Structure 1
Amino acid sequence: MSDRRMSNAITRPRRGMALEVVLLMLVMFSVIVLAGLSAVTTISRTSNADYHGARATYAAEGGADDVMSQLDAAMQDGIISGEDLANIQSPVVSGYRMTQATRTTGVPVSRTITSGPFSGLYSLNQPIDIEVTARDTSGNRATAVLSVNAQTIPLFQFGVFYEGDLEIHPGATMNFAGWVHTNGNLYLSSDDVRFQSNLTTPDSVFWQRKDSNNRLYGVHINNAAGTAVALRFDSRSLSDPLFKTRSQQDFDGRLMSRAHGVKPLKLPLPSNTPAVTLVEPRVAGDNSMVQDVKMAWKADWHITLDASVFTAYTAADSNTMKANFCTFLTQERSAGLALPSAAMCARIFKPRLDAFYEGREDNRVGSTLAIIRPDLIDIHLDTLRLWSDSAPAARAPRIIYINVINDNVADTRRDFVAVRLRQGAQLPRSRVAADTGGLTIATARPVYVLGNFNTIVWRPAAIIADAITFLSQPPNPNMDARTSWPSATRCTGSSAGWCDVNQQAADMNTARSTNVNAAILAGHSATPNDFMRVGGSQPYGGGLENFPRFLENWSGATHHYTGSLVSMFTSRYALGLWGSGVGGQYYSPPTRQWSFDVNFRFPERLPPGTPSVGTVLQTAFRPLY
């Protein structure tokens, strides 16, 4: 064989082997490409699944927030009921089928609030779980669980509670111990006012008066260490985040506004039902929710006064009028409780026609001087106590409600019908010896409190009315003793202390220092417009310092008050604005020693029928996988 043939024989196999290698490489490359494509597809599918899963999670979380807002709206009436939970609507999110299950977990428990703006108060707590599931059309699904706490808070554990704007501008020094809350704006300006506890509003804090362009530099708020720190900022000067930071820096967060997530606290009433409903008379059509709030339905002693008694007799305060007064009263008691006899009724309840000059109310007749004198139903609490204490199990009252009918609305000067509480230094015992007991007196009319109230043996007490005026301690040296009181308090002479006969013209009776221990819930006189919004000075409603009203010259006298100051509405019968009586000089202010009654920090020591308000607080959030 020649060398060429040998060479060709050797070369041909090598060429075939190269082809095989190329083919093998092509196959391997194809496998790599396919694997890469598969990986890309897998990654794409995984990313797509993660994307859609994340969207479903966000939808579930958003749905939980929607249900939370529905609960929050339901709680605006102060309570969460089974009906509220049944009426929760499943949230709507485009592209998802949403389902929700909202349910209570356990029974309501009374305990101290430990988180949120109202931390430190106590409430009836109802834990609730909100479970929301979101599913899209591709089968992606996510579930979120939101845990919330529905808190029902008794009103009288606040030192001050206002439904509308709250103005605090005392001229005289004022120190106040107790939580201050308003559902409106908070206006603070004074030469010397000091707050020893928290101040909260779901709206704004203004370091200025509402009625004029005036700011004073004596507002102080205690920090957590009890050190008084001057207020030097408000909701106008700082944005919400900066307001929150500055409040923490200056007061340890004890001044809280919308910046802190504070929410309004509302009575448990149907939507668009005004808070003044709480004091209104019974109406046959009142539903169960309204009945649970109205003091007239809560009362175990319901009294209806026919005001025509004040025009039925020509001789004012005649013995005949007094003897027949109880025939103008319709009295009802619940659960078989006893009513006083006719003779005892005449000793407990007495009429007082044109009782005294009411300087604050003179503004209702303009510039014409007219003597405004209220017609009163005087309730002699010492006589009531002696009658009740002789058989407390059958007689002791807890809530007394006084309704007034047939007053002459065309002649409000003559028929300014009101209630006066007198000789109330010691209140009736409870029906059960082991019970703290207590007494709440309520009416839609103005109330006057004469002399010391609830000062001998402390009991939970409340006065709920259209307006509340404190009349000073009469001049009798032992006035707390029943036998020392003169008839109708018509004491004579120039001694200091309240006397009806000395308050019969446009001058001021000289007051004596007086002590009152009771929660009060009443209407107030509001400054009609906000200076900052409308410009120009506005008539001042009187603010917190004049919420309990006065009619005397209190210069040199001290008004000691311990309780809870609550206003849920503006007055509808006692319409006189602060400082608007004849010449604006119908009283001079006392030294105000006012403080919160720390007894009200315990549920068992609250006055009978204490109203409650509510809010909802988120406590936890978790996704379910």
Structure 2
Amino acid sequence: MTSNQTTQSPPAGLRLRKGFALEVVLLMLVMFSIIVLAGLSAVTTIARTSNADYRGARASYAAEGGADDIMSQLDAAMQDGIINGEDIASITKPEITGFRMTQSTSTTGVPVSRTITAGPFAGLYSLNQPIDITVSARDTSGNKATAVLSVNAQTIPLFQFGVFYEDDLEILPGAPMTFAGWVHTNGNLYLSSASATFQSNLTTPDSVFWNRKDASNRLAGVRINNAAGTGVLLDFDSRSLSEPAFKTRSEVRFNGRLMSKAQGVRPLKLPLPANVPAVTLVQPRSVGDSPMVQDVKMAWKSDWYITVNAAVFDIVDTNTMKAQLCTNFMVQERTGGLQVPDAAACAKIFKPRRNAFYEGREDLRPDLLDIHMDSLRIWSDASKAARSPRIIYVNFTNLGGNTNKDYVAVRLRQGAQLPKPGISADTGGLSMVTERPMYVLGDYNTIVWRPAAIMGDAITFLSNPPNAAMAQTPGSLATRCSAQAGWCDTLQTNYAKRTARPTNVRAALLVGHSPTPCDYVRAGCGAPPYGGGLENLPRFLEGWGGVTFTYTGSLVSLYQSRFAFGLWGNSTNPNSPGAPGGGYYDAPTRAWSFDVNFRFPERLPPGTPSVGTVLQTAFRPLY
């Protein structure tokens, strides 16, 4: 049997619901795809943004690094104490792998002399030259950044410091000593004394040691004035405290007036080209001197350059030696058309003296060129516009060969009053310079103050005449010996210590020193000989016990003495009635202070060298 079956279709509503579900699924798939694609796009965008930020940051760091490089070049250029147009022009652009660098460095405005208001040298004045450094860095993808660094090139005159040392500075006086003036050393600072007071700041970019350098001897009498002017005992140093603790303790005890590397003190650059030793400042002219060396040598700065043939000391007869000095053994050169003395005036100003007196520290008898400053002043003041000197340099040639010229030096006599300036409105002043040792007899620059400096290998002060033990009887016009002249030399050939008389000196000193060779605590040092310290930078030869030596000026030492290298405390002298035990001097009472006149640029001695440093004042990126 055949049956016919009929298939029925689903209701219309059901068909609609199935179609809607499919659409929903498809829509969800589309939406999900959109979300996935959006996420992928966001990830890509973030990646690209991060990469761009990374490259931008690298460019910024490159620009900042380039600016630091330029600042380093400027810092190196300050080795001659100043920044000039030549220094700016010689700056090379930084080189950083992966970047094309450009730089623009320029001064902003003119140098301005003003007081330093911040940093370790606040309170001093300097010649300030603002400089802007602009450095741009661009990578291979075009990412670019620019940085602007503002710096200040500070030029500080050396004689603005009460004390300035390039090497380690030892201040270890036995006799009481009070010093008024800023003390700075580019080396370590050693302090120990039963009675020493410092009335101003002490700074070093290295360490402070409350002890001696040659042996352990920590004396508890070192005082440093706080901001209120009260002397406070030193009771710590760089060995006993860490740098942060040192800084804190200095602030508590001295209101921060004792500063070391703990406070960020930086070395001050000497006024010299790179790789040129500091002693170059006082060395004679040389045909091989570069323009940069000529700029800093006192010999080239001088307006009166004197060359003495030391063969004059070979002449046996004293009067013949004096008569022939100016005509046969001396050459004088002056700049700007200034006059030199004629033969008669020259003979009064300059006098040679062979084996003049016994020099206890060097254990010999020096051959001297005596410069009679009173005769120089009388001659100069008679026509000051055409004659007045500012820097006199004395050079010796033909040295060595025999004992008549074994220790050649310069001695300044009767220097209580210096020549007037060539221009009445000028402060004037006189700097006396030689690479040899120098002696000063009696008061110097005390009647009418003038800016004065004495520069050489070493400086020894001989006290004021008259001194009966030093006079010749009868007197002699040829030797200028009399009871009034004193230090007549003919009686200085024995070993007796002469009794000193109170003496007053007002002049900046730039001289060599005798160092203690090493610190006793260092391995292999042993017991080194004491160099004499700051208290013996000005040297003495007489019995100064209880007698005051008054000094006002600036004590600067940038190098070690090369000719006057006799040891401090030399005890090889034979015994004599005047020198029991062989000692050659007794320490004076030291009344020493900084000359506050040097705080004004127009009152500095002629040719004053400067030191410099470069400080960052601002930084900003450019977008």
TM-score by length of 2: 0.92
Shift of 1:190: 1.2
**Aligned pairs, number:** 601
**Larger CA deviation: 193-202 vs 600-609:** 193-202
3-state DSSP of counterpart to 1:167: strand
Aligned to 2:197: 194
3-state DSSP of counterpart to 2:197: strand
Change (3 A) 1:227 1:12: same
Q: Is the 8 A contact 1:492 1:501 kept in 2?
A: no
Instruction: Specify which of 508, 518, 528 is matched with residue 517 of structure 2.
Output: 528
| 2:242 counterpart of 1:239 | yes
Letter in 2 for 1:607: P
Q: Is the 8 A contact 2:430 2:450 kept in 1?
A: yes
- Unaligned segments of structure 2, at least 5 residues: 1-6, 469-474, 574-581
Shift of 1:72: 1.4
3-state DSSP of counterpart to 1:289: helix
Instruction: Specify which of 306, 310, 317 is matched with residue 309 of structure 2.
Output: 306
**Larger CA deviation: 423-432 vs 42-51:** 42-51
3-state DSSP of counterpart to 2:66: helix
Deviations 1:332-383 (A, max 9, x none): 1111111112111111111222211100001xxxxxxxxx211111111111
Shift of 1:288: 1.2
Letter in 2 for 1:323: A
3-state DSSP of counterpart to 2:412: strand
Distance in 1, Cα, partners of 2:481 & 2:568: 27
Distance in 2, Cα, partners of 1:277 & 1:259: 32
Shift of 1:488: 4.4
Aligned to 2:558: 568
Aligned to 1:355: 356
Distance in 2, Cα, partners of 1:553 & 1:421: 21
3-state DSSP of counterpart to 2:200: coil
Distance in 1, Cα, partners of 2:225 & 2:480: 43
Letter in 1 for 2:417: Q
Distance in 2, Cα, partners of 1:391 & 1:91: 56
Q: Is the 8 A contact 2:467 2:487 kept in 1?
A: no
Distance in 2, Cα, partners of 1:579 & 1:489: 32
Instruction: Specify which of 425, 431, 434 is matched with residue 440 of structure 1.
Output: 431
Distance in 1, Cα, partners of 2:212 & 2:477: 44
Identity of aligned residues (%): 71
Aligned to 1:381: 373
Deviations 1:154-186 (A, max 9, x none): 111110011111111001111111111112111
Aligned to 2:503: 514
Distance in 1, Cα, partners of 2:177 & 2:353: 35
Distance in 2, Cα, partners of 1:540 & 1:565: 19
Distance in 2, Cα, partners of 1:395 & 1:537: 53
Aligned to 1:608: 606
Distance in 1, Cα, partners of 2:109 & 2:51: 41
Instruction: Specify which of 472, 477, 482 is matched with residue 463 of structure 2.
Output: 472
Letter in 1 for 2:451: P
1:129-528 maps to which residues of 2 (within 5 A)?
129-312=132-315, 314-315=316-317, 317-318=318-319, 320-327=320-327, 328-362=329-363, 372-409=364-401, 411=403, 414-475=405-466, 488=479, 490-491=481-482, 498=487, 500-528=489-517
Shift of 1:410: 5.0
Shift of 1:259: 2.5
Distance in 2, Cα, partners of 1:469 & 1:431: 30
3-state DSSP of counterpart to 1:421: strand
Distance in 2, Cα, partners of 1:149 & 1:410: 54
Q: Is the 8 A contact 2:80 2:296 kept in 1?
A: no
Change (3 A) 1:101 1:450: same
Aligned to 2:589: 591
| 2:539 counterpart of 1:549 | yes
Shift of 1:35: 2.4
3-state DSSP of counterpart to 1:361: coil
Letter in 2 for 1:549: R
Q: Is the 8 A contact 1:151 1:614 kept in 2?
A: yes
Deviations 1:301-341 (A, max 9, x none): 111111111112x23x23x3322221221111111111112
Aligned to 2:23: 20
Aligned to 1:539: 529
Q: Is the 8 A contact 2:310 2:405 kept in 1?
A: no
Letter in 2 for 1:325: L
Aligned to 1:617: 615
Change (3 A) 1:485 1:431: farther
Instruction: Specify which of 46, 50, 62 is matched with residue 43 of structure 1.
Output: 46
Letter in 2 for 1:228: G
Q: Is the 8 A contact 2:451 2:507 kept in 1?
A: yes
Q: Is the 8 A contact 1:167 1:210 kept in 2?
A: yes
Shift of 1:476: 7.0
- Unaligned segments of structure 1, at least 5 residues: 363-371, 478-483
Deviations 1:401-427 (A, max 9, x none): 11111122553x753111111111111
Shift of 1:498: 4.8
Aligned to 1:481: none
3-state DSSP of counterpart to 2:194: coil
Q: Is the 8 A contact 2:390 2:431 kept in 1?
A: yes
**Larger CA deviation: 584-593 vs 64-73:** 64-73
3-state DSSP of counterpart to 2:529: coil
Deviations 1:205-261 (A, max 9, x none): 222111112222212212222222222222222333332333223222222222333
Shift of 1:57: 1.4
TM-score by length of 1: 0.92
Q: Is the 8 A contact 1:491 1:500 kept in 2?
A: no
Distance in 1, Cα, partners of 2:196 & 2:346: 45
Aligned to 1:368: none
Q: Is the 8 A contact 2:476 2:482 kept in 1?
A: no
Change (3 A) 1:234 1:295: same
Shift of 1:475: 2.1
Change (3 A) 1:196 1:104: same
Shift of 1:512: 0.5
3-state DSSP of counterpart to 1:308: helix
3-state DSSP of counterpart to 1:73: helix
Distance in 2, Cα, partners of 1:162 & 1:525: 12
Shift of 1:100: 2.1
Change (3 A) 1:486 1:605: farther
Change (3 A) 1:299 1:206: same
Deviations 1:86-137 (A, max 9, x none): 3323323333333222222222222222222222212222221222222222
Aligned to 2:472: none
Distance in 2, Cα, partners of 1:523 & 1:581: 22
